[in-house]
Amino acid sequence: MKLFVTGGAGFIGSQFIRDWVKRFPQDEIINFDKLTYAGNLANLTSVEDHPGYTFVRGDIRHSEALLEAIPHGADAVVHFAAESHVDRSINGAAEFVSTNALGTQVLLDAARHRKVARFLHISTDEVGGSMHPEEWLKEDSALKPRSAYAASKTAAEHLVRAAGETFGTDYVITRTSNNYGPFQFPEKLLPLAICNAMENQSIPVYGDGMQVRDWIHVEDNCRALISTLRGGRAGHTYHIGGGFPRPNRYVLESILAMLDRPKSLLAPTKDRPGHDRRYAVNFDKIVRELNWRPLISFQDGLRQTIHWYKDNQQWVKSVRSGDYLNYYKEQYGQSLSQSKAA
Ligand code: NAD
Ligand code: TYD
């Protein structure tokens, strides 16, 4: 197969590429990525010499660059590229709308012109908004996004469906819950907490810390993405969940226990504006139709992830410089070194 992957230098995209190359070494993959602060070619050193792998630096909002890079008649576009962090969308929503919504439209048009067979669109459970206790998001539930990130991802989904209706584009949409695992940029909760705890720095806990997220290991997610790309029904949406919804405090305390660090590192801070209280996806459809289910328990996945961050200090250091340090200061009103616990 010939795949055109966008955002393949990010957290999930790079895992997808590494896994695909391992499973289907004869296939061709083009990784098209702008290399924003979140994109990092160091995530792909294990595949960079693979004969079927090519990297192209480019922006999904640039039609000409896409038309040049997408091979005519490719088997699939796998669309990961996005601005992905909710906190950043609070401070600057325009870039999210531009990349996530407009970028998806430009990509859909280019893929159609290059006669790509299938468009796999990577979306998020956040499009459903905050779930009430006992409520579970289903594939046909109403979409009620509440952050600019979620709203821009919802717009992207609608544009993908519109291309299906208008032009007959063969698409599949996946909505995944919160991923964790190696190579995740340490602005998201799990890697932030692991990195801060390792350095005895405090960990910001927004509000009461009882917000619920359904954690899935990125390898389980990528196995589901491969299944939906190969076997998902055209025009269908598939939910992918970890089956492990837990409050943030539970997750943070598990990290501290595994690292043998005190709970006093947890530092309650002001809540995120518009903070979604609970995400919970029902993923019965993918289990039923594609026989996929998550295989990595949270305890095993977390242990493996912590080991990875311990063993990859150089990677952490390199991504936690420049832009990240300024961002951290703006976000928490202190520099990383000042946030060291007493
Ligand atoms: P990430 O932020 O780690 O990576 C995003 C990648 O997209 C980066 O490599 C970046 O350089 C690239 N990119 C950004 N703007 C671009 C542009 N204009 N043109 C080309 N490349 C661009 O994100 P991630 O966590 O790997 O998420 C990947 C996808 O999965 C996103 O679409 C996200 O919305 C979705 N998703 C993520 C999660 C999660 O928990 N991380 C959960 C559900 C869905
Ligand atoms: P995050 O990893 O940003 O993912 P999302 O907001 O897309 O679910 O945050 C996960 C949860 O952790 C969310 O409820 C916000 C919370 N959180 C904190 O309490 N402290 C932090 O420093 C961060 C980054 C997140």
The CA 271 to ligand 1 mean position distance, Å, reads 24
Task: Please name the residue whose Cα sits nearest to atom 29 of ligand 1.
Answer: 80
- Secondary structure (DSSP) of 251-280: HHHHHHHHTT--GGGEEEEPPPTT---B--
Taking CA atoms only, the protein residue closest to ligand 2 atom 12 is 189
Q: How far is the CA of 206 from the centre of ligand 2 (A)?
A: 8
Closest approach atom of ligand 1 to CA 13: 26
The residue contributing the CA closest to ligand 2 atom 10 is 189
Q: Is the pLDDT of residue 128 over 60?
A: yes
Q: What is the DSSP letter of 7?
A: S
Q: Is the pLDDT of residue 182 over 80?
A: yes
First-to-final CA distance of the chain: 55
- The pLDDT-based confidence of 325 (bands split at 50, 70, 90) is low
Q: What is the pLDDT of residue 321?
A: 80
Cβ–ligand 2 distance for 296 under 6 Å, the answer no
- pLDDT at position 333: 61
Tens-place pLDDT, residues 140-154 = 999 999 999 999 999
Catalytic residues: 125-126, 149
Instruction: Looking at the CA of residue 209, tell me the nearest atom of ligand 2.
Output: 19
Which ranges of 32-85 does DSSP label H, i.e. alpha helix? 63-69
Residues above pLDDT 70, as percent of the chain? 94
Distance CA 14, CA 16 (A): 5
Ligand 2 pocket member 204 (CB < 6 A): yes
Q: Which ligand is located closest to the Cα atom of residue 156?
A: 1
Q: Per-residue pLDDT averaged across 127-143, rounded? A: 97
Q: What is the pLDDT of residue 337?
A: 47
- Kindly state if the Cβ of 31 falls inside 6 Å of ligand 1: no
Probe ligand 2: pick from 86, 88, 189, max atoms within 8 Å of CB? 189
For 217-273, what is each residue's pLDDT tens digit?
999 999 999 999 999 999 999 999 999 899 999 999 999 999 999 999 999 999 999
The overall average pLDDT reported for the chain is 95
pLDDT at residue 101, as a whole number: 98
> Does pLDDT of 328 surpass 70?
no
Ligand 2: residue whose CA is nearest its atom 25: 189
Rounded to whole angstroms, the Cα distance separating 121 from 238 reads 10
**Atom 22 in ligand 2: which residue has the minimum CA distance?**
204
Q: What is the pLDDT of residue 323?
A: 60
Its pTM stands at: 0.96
The atom of ligand 2 lying closest to the CA of 188 is 2
Task: Give me the pLDDT at residue 142, please.
Answer: 97
Q: What is the mean pLDDT of residues 40-50?
A: 94
Q: Are 288 and 139 in contact (CB under 8 A)?
A: no
Q: Which amino acid is at 302?
A: L
Average pLDDT over residues 194-216: 97
pLDDT at position 338, please?
46
**Residue 342 binned pLDDT confidence (cut-offs 50, 70, 90):** very low
Q: Reply yes or no on whether the pLDDT at 22 is more than 90.
A: yes
Dmax over CA atoms of the chain, in Å, equals: 60
From 335, 283, 323, 331, select the one nearest 36 (Cα to Cα): 323
